[in-house]
Structure 1
């Protein structure tokens, strides 16, 4: 009877040892990997376009990232589809704009506004249909070539920051044709030598969220 306690202890140690060997063999024979596997913090799950939480039904997940200085181009993601990026070879200095049908998941060809010409931007923004979503990401300098008409059009799409947008500001924005209120999806970082992250440019901006789909009757 006195041996029961020690025997149980030996059995427990053997069981732990066998479990360790088994786990180690599964994880490639590295005992350190076993420790990391059981004690490391789990990586947070990422959802559509890298969001930290899923969007509700009948909502579009998006992420908009402005360019970094004049080196790294902007990116626009919608429902895990990259609409604008350097890898897509469709970014340019100035404003990078993607137009999307807001009543269903049908993508209109993204357009890029170069710094040298604002007429292309007006050509796309003036005839927009009701409900069209407009995604904007700045790169290098979004403001120098903007005229009053272009700024007014962005205000009609829900922007509050465009009227104050200046040389080399960072700007990300999502608006819509026919929006009744100001857009909740907008960020601006002012170009200031006292707070700039890069020499001559503010830091890049990153914005994500969920946009409710409009029903066809609303469009």
Structure 2
């Protein structure tokens, strides 16, 4: 006779990872927006830094700056690349990020229409290989370090600008995400 036993509920991991990061590592997940209703999110060490719930996500490029040594967010901001000229403001925000910071970047809706070359160059200098390839409404996520180097074996960037007419968002690109663990002993 079989007993009716419930399986134990799996333990929830930081930032909803499937498996836990090793002790001495930071957990992160960066999820781009998808369609009008699915807004971008940045999670770091199980704290939503940018999200609809926090009310600080916006159209364009969303950036969170985290102090690497403490793991605490120091600043978040979004830069609307559809309406107005915010490239210079974004470039200054990136350049003013303190050394020994992590920068987590994500798009929602359009991050490219008014993105000027000086802003693209500042992101490229941080290690982005895809910033020059962004198109109208491309979904893009990026994590980088300022003043030190991230391990080569972590995924740092992902972009999607596939055929937007053939997806579930009717002309909007599907979301992309990266997640991982960053050792706390890099500097």
TM-score (norm 1): 0.74
Q: CA deviation at 1:207?
A: 1.8
Which residues of 2 match residues 81-92 of structure 1 at below 5 A? 81-92=47-58
Paired with 1:180 and 1:101, the residues of 2 have a C-alpha distance of 14
Secondary structure at the counterpart of residue 75 of structure 2:
coil
Contact 2:66–2:72 at 8 Å: present in 1 too?
A: yes
Matched residue count: 182
Task: Decide whether aligned partners of structure 1 residues 199 and 163 sit closer, same or farther in structure 2, where only a CA change above 3 A counts.
Answer: same
Q: CA deviation at 1:196?
A: 3.6
Paired with 2:45 and 2:149, the residues of 1 have a C-alpha distance of 24
Q: CA deviation at 1:153?
A: 1.2
Of residues 160, 182, 185 in structure 1, which corresponds to 2:156? 185
The structure 1 segments of at least 4 consecutive aligned residues displaced by more than 4 Å after TM superposition are: 41-44, 179-183
Structure 1, unaligned runs of 5 or more: 1-15, 21-33
Deviations 1:145-175 (A, max 9, x none): 2111111111121211111111110001111
Paired with 1:150 and 1:134, the residues of 2 have a C-alpha distance of 14
Q: CA deviation at 1:126?
A: 1.4
Q: CA deviation at 1:42?
A: 5.8
Task: Decide whether aligned partners of structure 1 residues 87 and 193 sit closer, same or farther in structure 2, where only a CA change above 3 A counts.
Answer: closer
Matched, 1:73 2:39: yes
Structure 2, unaligned runs of 5 or more: none
**Which is richer in strand?**
2
Matched, 1:135 2:104: yes
| Residue of structure 1 in register with 2:137 after alignment | 168
CA RMSD across the alignment = 2.3
| Residue of structure 2 in register with 1:10 after alignment | none
Paired with 1:48 and 1:160, the residues of 2 have a C-alpha distance of 28
TM-score (norm 2): 0.86
Q: Which has the higher contact order (CA 8 A, sep 6+)?
A: 2
Report the structure number with the largest CA radius of gyration. 1
Secondary structure at the counterpart of residue 152 of structure 1:
helix
